[in-house]
Amino acid sequence: MELVLAISIATLAGSGVWLLLRPRTYQVIVGLSLISYAVNLFIFSMGRLRHDAAPVLSGQTGNLADYADPVPQALVLTAIVIGFATTALFLVVLLASRGLTGTDHVDGREPE
């Protein structure tokens, strides 16, 4: 499970960085989204990977061995919400930029 997750994070982050270095705004924003997915998975994996474990133990029968760390889950949730908001805001800025400059190049003009 660790290997699969590590490879997916690496693929997402690598594709994201490549797209981030592209000149078109759409590629840049997709790249940023991919990187933020990679980061979210990374945060999640920092709580250690386990299956069949509950984040909140109830009653007297709770056992730390069946326990999944809830903090990274809360962090991921926060990061997703903030990432969603910034992406939406950024999309508006880029749409305005496309409308004002007539091009979707990140420099606001086509290279000569």
Q: Kindly state the smallest distance separating residue 86's Cβ from another protein, in Å.
A: 6
Report the alpha-carbon distance of residue 61 to residue 81 in Å, rounded. Answer: 34
Query: 8 vs 101, which CB is nearer to another protein?
Result: 101
Report the alpha-carbon distance of residue 58 to residue 63 in Å, rounded. Answer: 10
Type of residue at 106: V
Query: 68 vs 75, which CB is nearer to another protein?
Result: 75
Please answer whether residues 30 and 52 qualify as being in contact, where contact means their C-beta atoms are separated by less than 8 angstroms: no
Q: Which residues, in sequence order, are bridge partners of residue 105?
A: 24
Which positions touch another protein (CB under 8 A)? 20, 25, 28, 32, 35-36, 39, 42-43, 45-48, 59-60, 71-72, 75, 78-79, 82, 85-86, 89-90, 93-94, 96-97, 100-101, 106-108
Q: Kindly state the smallest distance separating residue 109's Cβ from another protein, in Å.
A: 9
